[in-house]
Amino acid sequence: MFKGSTNQTNIRIQARALSNYFQERLIASRNALERECIIYTQELLALYQWPDENAEKEKNNEN
């Protein structure tokens, strides 16, 4: 009976280790995806020339 409980303990330890491993992988994947989203958004914003509000105000003041 003692040997059976030891096996159950080993299984729990292994399951916990696997759970921790996959949780760490999930967090790493999420962080990588967040970085990719930020880079993608920055690249999209760089495609457009957004008007500078200060430049428009200066043009209006000159006229």
Mind listing the pLDDT tens digit for each residue in 3-58? Answer: 557 888 888 888 898 999 999 999 999 999 999 999 999 999 888 877 777 667 77
Query: What one-character DSSP code corresponds to residue 48?
Result: S
CA distance to 6, 48, 59, 63, per residue, from 55 (Å): 74, 17, 6, 13
Domain boundaries, the chain: 2-62
Q: What is the pLDDT of residue 4?
A: 56
